[in-house]
Structure 1
Amino acid sequence: MSARPFLLPDDPSVPFPPAAHALREPDGLLAVGGDLSAPRLLNAYRHGIFPWYSEGQPILWWSPDPRLVFRTDAVRLSQRFRRSLRRSGWRVRADTAFDAVIDACADSPRPGQSGTWITGAMKAAYARLHRLGHAHSVEVWDGQGRLAGGLYGVAIGRMFFGESMFSARPGGSKAALAALAWRLREWGWPLLDAQVENPHLLSLGGERWPRARFLEEVARLAEAPGRAWNWREEFGELAAALLAGQGRG
């Protein structure tokens, strides 16, 4: 295994090295450089790779081992949170406020982190993917028409790669995740990538998968037929109260 990450050239058509070549320390660092063009990003996701870096750093590309994955039929919500959903009056929609969701994700404080990895360049890159029909947002709206939470990510074939989520109200991000899993399961999409584990995601039912198993599933699902370029109509509007019956307690 190489002791240093692969240096990507400027040409976005140049393939990434195999994810198995990623470093063990830091876990999953595979490549450095390149750009955030749509072809490069889509090529990365198809191979289980994603960008993650801070302002002032070069673009860093990752494929960690293990990988955190949600099965869309196994998101876990606590009994207490289910009760709050029944009373919330929240509604969930998709692709109605992509820019607002990514801005809120960038502005949300993260435990143990200062600043944000969702830089201006990252926002612009995912906004392009959204306009091309590859990046999507899921938004949780309260009874006053304000965002209570949301998430965004990239869809290729029948695979959804989650990027970030936020809560403006307690539990807003959990409602967004549960709603996305609900719809993906209805559509026949079995998996939701969550990239890197943390205690919060593990508590919601995230599973640690060996990278080889994850990549095998991504290769299969990314080639399957996907959905419409804009999810607003197909996703529809979902009452958050319905999510109270989803997942294990």
Structure 2
Amino acid sequence: MTQPATNKSITYLNESPFEIPFPENALDEPDGLCAMGGDLSKTRLINMYQHGFFPWYSEPDPILWWHPKERCALFPTDFHLSRSLKKHIKKQTWTVKVNTSFSDVIQACSDSRADKEGTWISNDIKNAYSALHRSGVAHSIEVWEGDLLIGGLYGVCLGRVFFGESMFSRKENASKTALYALCQHANAANIHLIDCQVESDHLITLGATLIPRIKFCDLLDDYCTPPQLNGYLQLNSILPIQV
């Protein structure tokens, strides 16, 4: 449960990776900016995610931590499989794999962002999430056409929540297929909620919804304590797609 803010202001983090700002102190403009500084250590990242924060900044700026007033999130059973997407997937011979090429996925996400609006997925971000991946905390969902990586996404999985970070497509609907496969196997993976962070029209059309901050924090209290690792998302596993 979050505590009501008395004076909204940015928290400057100290050296302790266990320091957690109050989400309700996040600024209204820009929406969700709550803290600055700290580092991207494994311990801090896990603690911050467990409480609903995520880092989003561009170098050479300091690390900025966000906790929006309304959280864009997707309950896996709410994924909207449109007729056109279903038809598209049926025609493909794609394979969805887990954790076979994490570094390539995060690099592709970085390249994709750079082509559009400039990337926030810096070398520090890549190194930090690669360390989480080696620890079994961060995962990649990959769409392959033969031996060609054509789309995917990566994120952090703690308990029953998958915190999505970024996705990319090199062919039409490839990233949607990765998300659909994750939702389709969410029950087996014991994933109850996928955090999409910031609202977009694209995510809303796929079934995502907006959750008030306090409710989102309550869900994390239920789903992420303790922040257990997800054993279903194993290295080299394949997620069969059914449409």
Query: How high is the TM-score relative to the length of structure 2?
Result: 0.92
Residue 140 of structure 2 is matched in structure 1 by: 137
AA aligned to 2:209 is E
Are 1:19 and 2:23 matched, yes or no? Answer: yes
Tell me if structure 2 keeps the 8 A contact 1:64–1:211.
yes
Q: CA offsets, 1:83-134, max 9 Å, x none?
A: 11001001101011100000000000479x5310001100000000001110
Residue 176 of structure 1 is matched in structure 2 by: 178
CA distance in 2, matches of 1:158, 1:230: 12
Q: CA offsets, 1:125-146, max 9 Å, x none?
A: 000000111000000101x311
AA aligned to 1:119 is S
Tell me if structure 1 keeps the 8 A contact 2:8–2:25.
no
AA aligned to 1:131 is R
Residue 102 of structure 1 is matched in structure 2 by: 106
Residue 114 of structure 1 is matched in structure 2 by: 117
Where in structure 2 are the equivalents of 1:45-60 lying within 5 Å?
45-60=49-64
Distance 1:53 1:228, change over 3 A: same
Between stretches 215-224 and 58-67, larger displacement belongs to 215-224
Decide which of 70, 75, 82 is 1:71's aligned counterpart: 75
Decide which of 131, 135, 138 is 1:128's aligned counterpart: 131
Decide which of 227, 232, 247 is 2:230's aligned counterpart: 227
Tell me if structure 2 keeps the 8 A contact 1:8–1:31.
yes
Tell me if structure 2 keeps the 8 A contact 1:134–1:229.
no
CA positional deviation for 1:229? 8.4
- Any idea what SS the aligned residue of 1:232 has? coil
Tell me if structure 2 keeps the 8 A contact 1:133–1:229.
no
Residue 247 of structure 1 is matched in structure 2 by: none
Distance 1:187 1:100, change over 3 A: same
Q: What stretches of structure 2 of length at least 5 have no aligned partner?
A: 1-5
Q: What stretches of structure 1 of length at least 5 have no aligned partner?
A: 245-249
Query: How high is the TM-score relative to the length of structure 1?
Result: 0.90
CA positional deviation for 1:20? 1.1
CA positional deviation for 1:238? 2.8
Residue 7 of structure 1 is matched in structure 2 by: 12
Q: CA offsets, 1:181-226, max 9 Å, x none?
A: 1111233322100000011111111100101111101111112654
Q: Percent identity?
A: 42
CA positional deviation for 1:231? 1.6
CA distance in 2, matches of 1:202, 1:116: 23
CA distance in 2, matches of 1:78, 1:178: 11
CA distance in 2, matches of 1:230, 1:199: 28
Residue 238 of structure 2 is matched in structure 1 by: 237
Alignment length (residue pairs):
237
Decide which of 152, 155, 176 is 1:153's aligned counterpart: 155
* RMSD between superposed Cα atoms in Å: 1.7
AA aligned to 1:11 is S
